[in-house]
Amino acid sequence: MQLGDPAPDFTALSTASATEPLHFYSWLDDSWCILFSHPADFTPVCTTELGAVARLHTAFKKRNCKVLALSIDPLEAHHAWTKDIEETQNCSVQFPIIADDGTVARLFGMLDNPLHDPTNMRDGLPLTVRTVFIIDPKRKVRLMLTYPAAVGRNFDEILRALDALQLADRRPIATPADWQPGQEVIVRFDMSDQDAEKEFGSFRTVKPYLRFTQLKLDE
């Protein structure tokens, strides 16, 4: 899968309902989405990660972004794991966890290559790699990050990247290294100075190809 590709549609059971499957495109509606995968339930790193995402519920909702987790385990295990997450991470898990049989993981290219480690198998399937996708309301994949098993994901960084993507969709800008919301942004390099002045009012030129301006997230 490449950036800009359509995210695959799918139907799968999830913790959102004991009987009704989750239809991804219908569930997504006109929202952004964070989809992130886990190799199995009751794994220590992933337990802390789901807790971190749960505590950011309000932040993602403010950005019109839904969260969807995935693990190749049955629904009963997901519900039991959710109780552990809420108990140990002091949170309320308000997003669905997909009970995948490997179908969704294959669609998104989230199965590890057993040639890299033949022991990295479970029930005849390669383990699910720990990938994060940001998907926009047009169902396009806008960001992919894959983490090794020993490294916990930084969801503050994922939230920062979401802010940058949404801002760049609204205005003709890019964000510099280590950008944080409220800091200067880069005027898109293919804009003329005249168009940049009309768009932003003022900007700071370091080099002809490197121009900065100040924007707020809600502009």
- 135 DSSP β-pair partners: 33, 141
- Give the relative orientation of helices 44-55 and 155-170 as an angle to the nearest 10 degrees: 50
**Is 65 an annotated catalytic residue?**
no
Q: Which residues contact 47 (CB under 8 A, 6 or more apart)?
A: 81, 84, 85, 88, 89
134, two tokens = 């940001």
Q: Which residues contact 185 (CB under 8 A, 6 or more apart)?
A: 167, 171, 173, 174, 175, 176, 179, 212, 213, 214, 215
Residue with tokens 């002091």: 90
Among residues 33, 46, 65, 91, the one annotated as catalytic is: 46
Residue 163's closest CA among 32, 63, 54? 63
What does the alpha-carbon distance between residue 71 and residue 8 come to, in Å, rounded to a whole number? 17
Q: Which residues contact 127 (CB under 8 A, 6 or more apart)?
A: 39, 40, 111, 112, 120, 121
The size of the chain, in residues, is 219
Active site residues: 46
